[in-house]
Amino acid sequence: MAKLPQAEATPAARAADILPDDAIARERGPLRRCIVTRQTLPKEQMIRFVIGPMRELVPDPGGRLPGRGLWLVAKDEVLRKALKQGVFAKAARGTVGVPGDLGTLIISGLRQRVLDFLGFARRSGEAVAGREAVLDWLRHGKVALLIQASDGSPAERSRLIGGRTGPLEFPVLTPLTAAELGGVFGRDRAVHVAISPGRMVSSLQAETARLAGFVAV
């Protein structure tokens, strides 16, 4: 039977099209489909949501909560479109309670993800904080990623790499404040954090990219 044109699809057909079938709903594999844009992308570029026991919408940035996942591209404009069009209720085939501070919950969860990965990197010896320690790693070519405080002064941030000529061979990210960075390393503040080559680099880049979809970093 020919597929109905999108304009003629019933609500049930649209929901079935939005949600994966039972086999895919087990959420295996690296790709997910956005319920708004219909894009199929790596899950690291998306935000997962689940419906809680009281039919409330729960953001799940870590992708660990039980239940069928509803996925959005990790961008604020996509979230706004989903809320405006009632896409979550359509996808969940029923009433869904949306928290008034949903955007704040998402941002908080993504910031915590960055903090968690930084903590892993520190405990495994893959990260150092502070100007002198970072300079030492720079001199020895041990830096694969540089994280700087988002609220550090431009002069304070640029002095560290200002004397270097040519393009940097590593990315520089600013997802967290000096107080947040310092808290990971047991100090009041940290403006510079260096990450050595390893899995933490790609994880921190992915989480920062998701956070950047909702707030300037």
Average pLDDT, the chain: 86
One-letter identity of residue 199 = R
The domain of 12 spans 6-99
Residue 1 belongs to some domain of the structure: no
Last residue of a domain, one of 71, 99, 127: 99
- At 190 the pLDDT is 95
Quote the CA–CA distance of 146 and 192 in Å, as a whole number: 7
- Whether residues 92 and 111 share a domain: the answer is no
- Whether residues 33 and 92 share a domain: the answer is yes
- Whether residues 35 and 87 share a domain: the answer is yes
- At 169 the pLDDT is 82
- Whether residues 122 and 90 share a domain: the answer is no
- Whether residues 91 and 112 share a domain: the answer is no
Last residue of a domain, one of 99, 125, 151: 99
- Whether residues 88 and 156 share a domain: the answer is no
Question: What are the backbone angles phi and psi of residue 12, rounded to the nearest 5°?
Answer: -65, -40
Which CATH number is 68's domain given? 3.30.1230.10
- Whether residues 60 and 125 share a domain: the answer is no
The arithmetic mean of pLDDT across residues 14-18, rounded, is 36
- Whether residues 138 and 199 share a domain: the answer is yes
Residue 121 belongs to some domain of the structure: yes
- At 165 the pLDDT is 52
pTM value > 0.85: no
Q: Which of 119, 139, 107 is nearest to 200 (CA)?
A: 119
- At 166 the pLDDT is 56
CB of 61 within 8 A of CB of 210? Answer: yes
Cα 81 to the center of its chain, rounded Å: 19
Ranges 84-98, 133-147, 161-175: which has the least confidence: 161-175
Residue 217 belongs to some domain of the structure: no
Which CATH number is 175's domain given? 3.30.1330.30
The arithmetic mean of pLDDT across residues 157-167, rounded, is 66
Structure tokens at 93: 């085939």
Last residue of a domain, one of 74, 99, 124: 99
Q: 216: pLDDT confidence band, cut at 50, 70 and 90? A: confident
Contacts by residues 18-22 (CB-CB < 8 Å, ≥ 24 positions apart): 18/87, 18/90, 18/91, 19/68, 19/70, 19/91
- Whether residues 124 and 197 share a domain: the answer is yes
The domain total for the chain is 2
Ranked by mean pLDDT, the top range of 3-7, 74-78, 164-168 is 74-78
Structure tokens at 43: 């899950």
- Whether residues 115 and 208 share a domain: the answer is yes
- Whether residues 92 and 145 share a domain: the answer is no
- At 217 the pLDDT is 83
- Whether residues 17 and 82 share a domain: the answer is yes
